[in-house]
Amino acid sequence: MTLLEILVVAGAAALGPARWAPFRARRAVTWAAVAVFVPAGAALLVTGVRWQLVPVLAGGLLAAPFAVSPLLRRRGGRPAWRAPRWLAVPGTAVCAGLVAAGVAAAWALPRPEFPAPSGPYAVGTTVLGWTDPDRPETATAEPDDRRAVVVQLWYPARPSPAGVERARYLGRTEREARAVARGLTGYLGVPGFLLDELPQARSHAVPGAPAADGGRWPVVLFSPGLGGVRTQNTAWAQELAGRGYVVAALDHPYDSAAVTLTGGRTVRTRVAATGDPAEDARRAAGWTAVRAADLSFVLTQLGRLDRGEIPGPPGPGTLTGRLDTGRAAATGHSIGGGAALQAAHQDPRFAAVINLDGYPHDPDPRPFHQPFLALTHPVDPGENQDYIPRLTRVLKLGTATGYHVIVRSAAHLTFTDAPLYLPPLPSLVGSRGRDGGPRLTVEATAAFLDATLRDRPVDVAAHLSRYGSLTVHRAGR
């Protein structure tokens, strides 16, 4: 909370019980609370009020008459008005409830604060739009519509001057960020104001920052969850970039909640369940196949970008000659993790694969030859009990050494940015605290990537075993 918000809360919280203060202290307590609440509340109204603080303002305004009126005197010295006990008691309770509700909402749904990257590099970011001329867009009826994707890159960068503007969390502009936030709440079926903080959030990456000096960097491609967006794992992406990787996260149009295409048109998701298990499985397999093809297409485009065959991002953040697509990993969360597995067995150019809690929807899974890492949450009663057995059957098709960790105290959203801004409910985001999930995801995947893409002497099994139940799938077994 900002200083103004803290002052508003303090003033409102003091106004409620001021009426019940001892007689000698009542006047000082009341006027001190008014002196804090009124100017801070007015300033907050001018600068902009978060919806979470509206109940606090209402509680303070409701409490003010109860607290101030007994201090005002009529002629003759009598109080202007003093609420009877039968009214003052419930009034005080309502005021306290409103203030508590506002504070709880601000705590449960904060503006996300992203951990600063810990690696040796600063982080730059840029967004590119590419169209695949060889694939039709199956989500529309237009015969000439070709498949397009939007890709955001996080990369090692030179340090930027102090005070330089950092990248918005959900989009390149406030308009795009708000469109994405509306798309997310629409997809989730929740009131739009619940995610009002996200369009204002900033990451640590600098748009268009000059790339860092040095050699060529391994590439990590990322596919988000169903209805998710390219930025849903920003904490993870910028941390990897600070450690010397280039992360390329995809928006999958008509699947991601909202995607602003080149030219400014925003398209919303068209994915929807039918309630028929067979039909839903067929649809999920189709979405997964499209995503796997998107991953391969983007890998191709990154190779062309590295060779200078296609235009790179505008400005000084050129990446030509810096992308080592021979050391590339396919990664994803949820259905994106299933797509990463499918992309790996279809495209041998990927050197490694990471599945973050993703159900494999491929109806015809086949062997894949890349080392793999799968991080999953413990499946509780009432969830799909076929998830872990099916994933295990797919992982056993791998011919290289791989790792599967069932992460303690994790939920499905633990492996995303969600713990930074959603209510810290164990069933929703796990029980590892605000930054515990993103930090775990970084440390586990970075150890695996360092060993597989950089040939560093990392004891991956020993590192992963600290996070939960580890199964190691040995090559050739």
E-strand stretches of 137-254: 146-157, 206-207, 217-223, 246-251
Q: What percent of the chain has pLDDT over 90?
A: 62
pLDDT in tens, 145-204: 999 999 999 999 999 998 899 999 999 999 999 999 999 998 888 888 889 999 999 999
pTM of the model: 0.91
pLDDT in tens, 340-354: 999 999 999 999 999
Helices (H) and strands (E) in the chain, counts: 12, 12
Q: How far is CA 293 from CA 114, 144, 250, 269, 399, in A?
A: 31, 19, 12, 18, 22
Q: How open is the CA angle 297-230-463, to the nearest 5 degrees?
A: 95
Token digits for 222?
Answer: 């990322």
From the list 132, 135, 339, the residue with the least C-alpha distance to 222 is 339
- Alpha-carbon distance of 325 to 349, in angstroms, equals 8
- Give me the pLDDT at residue 317, please: 60
pLDDT in tens, 381-440: 888 889 999 999 999 999 999 999 999 999 999 999 999 999 999 999 999 889 999 999
> What CATH class has 122-473?
alpha beta
- Alpha-carbon distance of 333 to 223, in angstroms, equals 7
- Alpha-carbon distance of 210 to 155, in angstroms, equals 10
> In the chain, where does the domain assigned CATH 3.40.50.1820 lie?
122-473
Long-range CB contacts for residues 166-169, cutoff 8 Å, separation at least 24: 166/202, 166/203, 166/204, 166/205, 166/206, 167/125, 167/202, 167/203, 167/205, 167/206, 167/207, 168/199, 168/201, 168/202, 168/203, 169/112, 169/114, 169/198, 169/199, 169/201, 169/202, 169/203, 169/231, 169/234
Token digits for 150?
Answer: 């939007």
pLDDT in tens, 28-66: 888 788 888 888 889 988 888 888 889 988 988 887 777
- Alpha-carbon distance of 9 to 2, in angstroms, equals 11
Confidence at 3, pLDDT banded by 50, 70, 90: confident
